[in-house]
Amino acid sequence: MRWPGGSGRLPGIGIALLIAAAALLLLRGSGGSGGSAESSGPDRGERVTASVVRVVDGDTIVVTLDGVEESVRYIGIDTPETSKPGQALECFANEATELNRRLVTEGRVVLGFDRELRDAYDRLLAYVWARGGLLNAELVRLGAARTLTIEPNTARAGTLARLEAQAGRAGRGLWGDCPS
């Protein structure tokens, strides 16, 4: 291979740089999420309606989307864990799960997507609406969730942070019931 515009051969380091650049472009094209680039599902920025199959915990549900069951992780929040292997139940975990279950009782939700569609576990990452409200925000507002900002899905990070500060000041949910 000849160096563009030159007369010498491309040095070995040049080949390595070209390979690295190609790998970076491939990673960017797949969203860099660790999920499969061929994963089916919605497009970025799209909103879709889905049927809730079950509530996994305070920030994860399983839905049916186009006839396929999908695990959906709520963007921008983190609720106390109900079942981490080798760890005890976290304070307010059962309450957060039950609140999530009550919020999705109608069985239909609207999913909205940010820049990255899937996480490393191939779960859909979504903002979830039910009963006319954004559940991600409602869980934070009620003190059942803390904010969890992970780039590049940050479109609602400011709103969630503001709601978290208000819940903390008011001592709502985990802010009043759990030791810091």
Looking at the annotation, which residues are catalytic? 73, 81, 123
| C-alpha–C-alpha distance, residues 163 and 23, integer Å | 40
40 in Cβ contact with 48 (< 8 Å): no
Q: Print the SS3 string covering 77-139.
A: EECCCCCCCCCCCCCCHHHHHHHHHHHCCCCEEEEECCCCCECCCCCEEEEEEECCEEHHHHH
Neighbour tally for 32: CB within 10 Å: 12
| C-alpha–C-alpha distance, residues 97 and 100, integer Å | 5
175 in Cβ contact with 95 (< 8 Å): no
* The Cα angle at residue 82 between residues 164 and 107, in degrees rounded to 5: 75
Return the half-sphere exposure (C-beta side, CA atoms, 13 A cut-off) of residue 144. Answer: 22
